[in-house]
Structure 1
Amino acid sequence: MSYQVLARKYRPQKFSEVIGQEHVTRTLKNAIEQGRTAHGYIFSGHRGIGKTTVARILAMALNCRSSDKPVAEPCGVCDSCTEIRAGNAVDVIEIDAATNRGIDEIRELREAARYRPARDRFKIYILDEAHQITDAAFNALLKTLEEPPSHVVFMLATTQPEDIPQTIRSRCQHFSFRAVRFEEIVGQLKDLIGRENIEADEDALA
């Protein structure tokens, strides 16, 4: 059996599994239940606190095939959920904006966004390190955010939301992720070592 990195093995797959960001997950779940999801999101906060993970869970919830409409908690087992989790869903595109930050790349994205999803309910673009997109590229994206196709959702993850132009921020729902509390981290570690049958004393966890 091949070894799997524990951080990947235990990456949350549902909103209820995300720790420390209840103010975000609760609002997103309520929006889905009320049919009031947005076409643009900004997830901001320090590195490693769940921005991209929540974006993927939201993508699964919007495209989950356990229902004929978006669900507040993705099933995690349908074709759409498993493809998004594996990173090979044709309609959920993750882009590293640190290396794909120019106007040509964004123009290609904008052109592709015009076409309906190949398989899923929504075509979703997750842009990591979104603050590194150039001003010219943001301007190219602005028109799509102003008049988004009904089938497109943009999710921008960033550690520096202040570097995203106000014209973009004003057209997205902005969620600020909080630093995860120490007690929550320790609790998660205790749960993990219990599942893995790992012995560790309290001092090692702290």
Structure 2
Amino acid sequence: MSYQVLARKYRPQKFSEVIGQEHVTRTLKNAIEQGRTAHGYIFSGHRGIGKTTVARILAMALNCRSSDKPVPEPCGVCDSCTEIRAGNAVDVIEIDAATNRGIDEIRELREGARYRPARDRFKIYILDEAHQITDAAFNALLKTLEEPPAHVVFMLATTAPEDIPQTIRSRCQHFSFRAVKFDQIVAQLKDLCGRENIAADEDALAMLAEAGDGSVRDALSILDQAIASSDGRLNAESVRQLIGIAPSGALE
């Protein structure tokens, strides 16, 4: 079996597993419990902090087959949940808006949204890098967002919400994701090293968390590199050499 990078291997599959975004996950869970989910969402913030991950978890929660209605935490084992997690759910369509950004692609999306889901409760469109969509394409999407079919949910993930037209933003619920706190990233790195049976010094983990700059994904990517370059234990010196941090006191 090929190696799976840590960020993918340990990607959260439930709202409770998402770190640093409790203000978002709590609100989404409450909305589901109260039957007050929206038909349009914008998830904005720094790269690698959980926007697309939360969109996928929300998609699982809305379509989870463990109940006859959306659930605040997806079961993770039903057909719908497992297919969404694997990226092959027919009723959850993920679109890279950086490369599918034109009016023709959005018109095709709009046409597909007219039809009911093949099996699941909702047909869900997750548009990553949504700020890359052209103005003409956004205009083509506007009518669908104004009067969405009852079976459709749009989720737009972006690092630049200011580039999304106000006419679109005003028709969606907007959730701003925060950079993950340093101590939360350290705790996550420590936990994953334990699961992977990797010995790691505290100061080495602190350096990795600092290098992540608020992004769990970036910190895990650097951790992958550090593990590959280590001799069996992560220490401050090996991490320092990897990421190019000057030793303490070197600049004094």
**TM-score tier after normalising by the smaller chain length:** over 0.9
**Residue 2 of structure 1: CA displacement?**
3.0
- 1:100 maps to what in 2? 100
Q: Which has the larger radius of gyration?
A: 2
Query: What's the secondary structure of 2:157's corresponding residue?
Result: strand
Gaps of 5+ in 1: none
Question: Take 1:6 and 1:120, find their aligned partners in 2: how far apart are those partners?
Answer: 30
Query: What's the secondary structure of 1:105's corresponding residue?
Result: helix
Question: Take 1:126 and 1:37, find their aligned partners in 2: how far apart are those partners?
Answer: 16
What is the TM-score when the length of structure 1 is the normalising length? 0.97
Q: Residues 150 and 55 of structure 1: is their aligned pair in 2 closer, same or farther, counting only changes over 3 Å? A: same
Question: Take 1:205 and 1:37, find their aligned partners in 2: how far apart are those partners?
Answer: 54
Gaps of 5+ in 2: 203-249
- The answer to whether the 8 A contact 1:125-1:155 is kept is yes
- The answer to whether the 8 A contact 1:41-1:156 is kept is yes
Q: Deviations over 1:30-50 (max 9, x none)?
A: 000000000000000010000
- The answer to whether the 8 A contact 1:61-1:71 is kept is yes
Query: What's the secondary structure of 1:111's corresponding residue?
Result: helix
Q: Residues 140 and 205 of structure 1: is their aligned pair in 2 closer, same or farther, counting only changes over 3 Å? A: farther
Query: What's the secondary structure of 1:205's corresponding residue?
Result: coil
- The answer to whether the 8 A contact 1:44-1:157 is kept is yes
**Residue 28 of structure 1: CA displacement?**
0.1
Q: Deviations over 1:110-154 (max 9, x none)?
A: 000000000110000000010010000000000000000000000
- The answer to whether the 8 A contact 1:43-1:177 is kept is yes
Query: What's the secondary structure of 2:184's corresponding residue?
Result: helix
Question: Take 1:161 and 1:82, find their aligned partners in 2: how far apart are those partners?
Answer: 30
**Number of paired residues?**
205
Question: Take 2:251 and 2:133, find their aligned partners in 1: how far apart are those partners?
Answer: 38
Question: Take 1:5 and 1:113, find their aligned partners in 2: how far apart are those partners?
Answer: 34
What is the TM-score when the length of structure 2 is the normalising length? 0.80
- 1:26 maps to what in 2? 26
- The answer to whether the 8 A contact 1:107-1:141 is kept is yes
Q: Which runs of 4+ in 1 moved over 6 A?
A: none
- 1:12 maps to what in 2? 12
Query: What's the secondary structure of 1:19's corresponding residue?
Result: coil
Question: Take 2:200 and 2:163, find their aligned partners in 1: how far apart are those partners?
Answer: 42
Q: Percent identity?
A: 95
| Deviates most, 53-62 or 4-13 | 4-13
Q: Deviations over 1:59-103 (max 9, x none)?
A: 000000000000000000100000000000000000000000000
- 1:189 maps to what in 2? 189
**Residue 4 of structure 1: CA displacement?**
1.7
Question: Take 2:53 and 2:7, find their aligned partners in 1: how far apart are those partners?
Answer: 11
Question: Take 2:17 and 2:139, find their aligned partners in 1: how far apart are those partners?
Answer: 36
**Residue 205 of structure 1: CA displacement?**
22
- 1:115 maps to what in 2? 115
Question: Take 1:101 and 1:31, find their aligned partners in 2: how far apart are those partners?
Answer: 30
Query: What's the secondary structure of 1:12's corresponding residue?
Result: coil
1:37-186 mapped onto 2 (5 Å cutoff): 37-186=37-186
- The answer to whether the 8 A contact 1:186-1:205 is kept is no
- The answer to whether the 8 A contact 1:189-1:205 is kept is no
**Residue 196 of structure 1: CA displacement?**
1.1
| Deviates most, 3-12 or 106-115 | 3-12
Q: Residues 205 and 153 of structure 1: is their aligned pair in 2 closer, same or farther, counting only changes over 3 Å? A: farther
Query: What's the secondary structure of 2:42's corresponding residue?
Result: strand
